[in-house]
Amino acid sequence: MTEQSLDRAARHVLQAVMVRAAVAGGDYPAMTGRRLAGQLDLRARAEAAGNPVERADAGDRALCAFLATILSRRGPDVHDYLTGAFGYRPERATGLRHHCGRELLGIELVPHWAPSRPRELYICERCGPAYSLPHGFAPPSRLLVGPTALRVEFNAPLAQRSWFAASRQPIGGHPEHPLLPRALAPGAEALEVRIPTAAGPGLRRFAAALVVDGDYAIFQVPDTI
Ligand SMILES: [Zn+2]
């Protein structure tokens, strides 16, 4: 069993916890959620045994669809689904800035069963949650928010086929409609999503989810349109 396969197993365990919490919270359909959580359990066991599952790409797409749905139903703090599964290290200065120009603080989220592979949460001092990134995934080199589109430019080209989706996020108020997952080819250097213009009442944020190599990243910006 390699360190890499243990890392992959740990990430799928964490994702299964997140999916079950979303189902328990009424944010995701029970039957679809239980099936996805079961698939993630299988992926975790297979990775831990050193036998990666076939159809991993279909699993990544399903995880991406899940993320887009919960982004559409929940406000900025999606990582709250993982309360109890993570420890939080103290925030630290990153020397990076959000697209709005303000500083980004970093907080490591440390899985209890994989303490050497913390996720990284980046918080903008003005906008709040900005990026939630897998261990070792660098923050975007550039993030552009135009009147109609969000563009996230990666720090390095993606090594393999990946999936992304997006949604407006309610801050209170009614659920939004997530966009369907779309594939990114290996070598992709950015994702770009259209920001929907029709929205209900209330404040909104906009977020894109990326699933790459069985793990996920979330990029969030205030929606000021
Ligand atoms: Zn900001």
Residue 105: what pLDDT? 97
On whether the CB atoms of residues 219 and 122 are closer than 8 A, the answer is no
**Residue 210 CA to ligand 1 centre (angstroms):** 20
* Residue-level pLDDT, tens digit, the chain, 225 residues: 677 888 889 899 999 999 999 999 888 999 999 999 999 999 999 998 888 777 788 999 999 999 999 998 876 667 778 888 888 999 999 999 998 899 999 999 998 888 888 999 999 999 899 999 999 999 999 999 887 889 999 999 999 999 999 988 887 667 788 889 999 999 999 999 988 766 666 677 889 999 998 999 999 988 764
pLDDT score at 222? 84
Distance (Å) from CA 37 to ligand 1 centroid: 33
| pLDDT for 208 | 95
pLDDT at 177: 84
Alpha carbons 209 and 145: distance in angstroms, whole number = 15
Q: What pLDDT is stored for residue 13 in this prediction?
A: 92
pLDDT at residue 198, rounded to an integer: 63
In this predicted structure, what is the pLDDT of residue 173?
A: 67
Q: Report helix, strand or coil for 64.
A: helix
> What is the pLDDT, as a whole number, of residue 83?
82
Centroid of ligand 1 to alpha carbon of 16 (angstroms): 30
Cα-to-centroid distance, 92 and ligand 1 (Å): 16
Q: 63 Cβ partners below 8 Å, 6+ apart?
A: 15, 36, 40, 163, 211, 214, 216
Q: Are 140 and 212 in contact (CB under 8 A)?
A: no
Distance 195 CA to ligand 1 centre (A): 17
Q: 118: number of CA atoms within 13 Å, CB side?
A: 14
Distance 169 CA to ligand 1 centre (A): 16
CA 153 / ligand 1 centre spacing (Å) = 16
Output the CA 81–ligand 1 centroid distance in Å: 23
Q: Report which residue type is found at 149.
A: A
- What pLDDT sits at residue 193? 92
Q: How far apart are CA 57 and CA 71, in angstroms?
A: 21
* pLDDT recorded at residue 86: 87
